[in-house]
Chains A and B, each alone.
Chain A
């Protein structure tokens, strides 16, 4: 899940970059930037969850 989280962070950023380069029309560009940002938030959630401490390791 950790790797998936960081890959999603990168994927979201590439979506944002692609939106800047590919779309000149503001609505489409904004939509894709927001989608990219949402993917990043999902990736961040995965990254946080993957770093939760297993109960048996807590001391």
Chain B
């Protein structure tokens, strides 16, 4: 099947939005740095850069060939007379792939950035103790296999996207801007990595207390939030154009919904922390902001601004309590809050689409412009919540065991956790040989009498 094309206006708009996506990666990297310790700040930034590089290369080598695009070649199983497209069949290394401005080539470009964003998420949970080479190995597996496989099911015309056309379940699993494919996959990988690494030394004492280990730079964290907003507007808008057939003109609504969800979520987190602790907490408010962005990703093209505010508010409340619950009750030491923000926030966003989603226009979800994919465009098809629930069940029941198993195997081959001495010394000095803030180091010879 020849690759479909967008209109010229949509192509230019889509390119513009795709070029905003790296700002989301920059924002997440800054947040991860700020929420970690100062003695591991340089290491975290280095790990972020390496993760982006490894993810891009791994996705180029084999990731895209397994993810594919809507209408592209794929392997299918035949179950009860229905086709279950489970993996794409593109050649490796972008061979025989033409970058001609088609939807397929824009998808390839978009995914190169998105996979890097997904790879940054687990870094926040492994801060202060995850070795650089181990994080690169884990990123390679994520970008080469886990991410492309699930993204194919959702964005490549796979079986989750086809639930509507094949089984009449809503319009199939919908995920406009990657709440599942990017955020929840990254967040669940973060959970797996946190489990494998264990908590930082000194995080949990024998008497059951869990002292807070505050981030070292709130300015970086909050500036990262602003960058993330710009990047997220790009992700959500480009995703809506590429994967749901939205016109470029829909970008205004999408950007407004994205901003409103983030704002409502951050304010909710600030209010909750103010009420509970007496003062608003900067790191939880920042996590609330990103949780609102994450939750907005699933549904930004299909909800009204008022509904985006509701979705964001709930996301902010969920994440505020979720971070505390994971840290204190489940003993998940997640310095960046990645599990709560990206996994829990993403899952909430996906379910919210099933609850709040309104479909006023055709939804391009599977097999490009085939008329059969346009069934149920009048807004009367029920069961969208069921399609979203099936997608969430797939994330929990397939992606989590898969990413945990793969990372556990990698950990056996090359241990993830830094040595006790390295953790005490700090990742910067131990792994990079120099700190991120050398001017803060006190050299005793500077105080010797001359």
CB distance B79 to A51 under 8 Å?
no
**Roughly how many angstroms separate A20 CA and B166 CA in the complex, as a whole number?**
10
Query: In the complex, which residue of chain B has the Cβ closest to the Cβ of A45?
Result: B330
- Knowing A20-B163, A21-B80, the reply to whether A6 touches B404 (Cβ < 8 A) is yes
- Knowing A6-B404, A48-B330, A51-B331, the reply to whether A13 touches B394 (Cβ < 8 A) is yes
Please name all residues of chain A whose beta carbon is closer than 8 Å to the beta carbon of B198 when the two chains form the complex.
53
- B202 at interface (Cβ–Cβ under 8 A)? yes
Query: In the complex, which residue of chain A has the Cβ closest to the Cβ of B199?
Result: A53
From A16, A34, A58, give the contact of B394 (CB < 8 A). Answer: A16
- B341 at interface (Cβ–Cβ under 8 A)? no
CB distance A9 to B396 under 8 Å?
yes
Please name all residues of chain A whose beta carbon is closer than 8 Å to the beta carbon of B393 when the two chains form the complex.
12-13, 16, 33, 36-37, 40
Stretch from B234-242, B277-285, B382-390 at the A interface: B382-390
- B433 at interface (Cβ–Cβ under 8 A)? no
CB distance B330 to A9 under 8 Å?
no
Stretch from B10-18, B97-105, B203-211, B364-372 at the A interface: B203-211
CB distance B400 to A59 under 8 Å?
no
B328 CB to closest chain A CB, in angstroms?
12
- B361 at interface (Cβ–Cβ under 8 A)? no
Q: Chain B: how many interface residues by the 8 Å CB criterion?
A: 32
CB distance B386 to A33 under 8 Å?
yes
CB distance A13 to B397 under 8 Å?
yes
Please name all residues of chain B whose beta carbon is closer than 8 Å to the beta carbon of A20 when the two chains form the complex.
163, 167, 169, 390
Q: Chain A: how many interface residues by the 8 Å CB criterion?
A: 29
From B195, B202, B330, B401, give the contact of A10 (CB < 8 A). Answer: B401
Please name all residues of chain A whose beta carbon is closer than 8 Å to the beta carbon of B163 when the two chains form the complex.
20
**Roughly how many angstroms separate A44 CA and B404 CA in the complex, as a whole number?**
12
**Roughly how many angstroms separate A28 CA and B204 CA in the complex, as a whole number?**
46
- In the complex, which residues 2-56 of chain A have their Cβ closer than 8 Å to any Cβ of chain B? 6, 9-10, 12-14, 16, 20-22, 26, 29-30, 33-34, 36-37, 40, 43-44, 47-48, 51-53, 55-56
What residues of chain B have their CB less than 8 Å away from a CB belonging to chain A?
A: 79-80, 82, 163, 167, 169, 195, 198-199, 201-202, 204-206, 208, 330-332, 383, 386, 389-390, 392-394, 396-398, 400-401, 404-405
Given A6-B401, A34-B389; 17 other pairs, CB 8 A cutoff = A9-B396, A9-B401, A10-B397, A10-B398, A10-B401, A12-B397, A16-B390, A30-B386, A37-B392, A37-B393, A48-B332, A51-B330, A52-B330, A55-B206, A58-B206, A58-B208, A59-B201
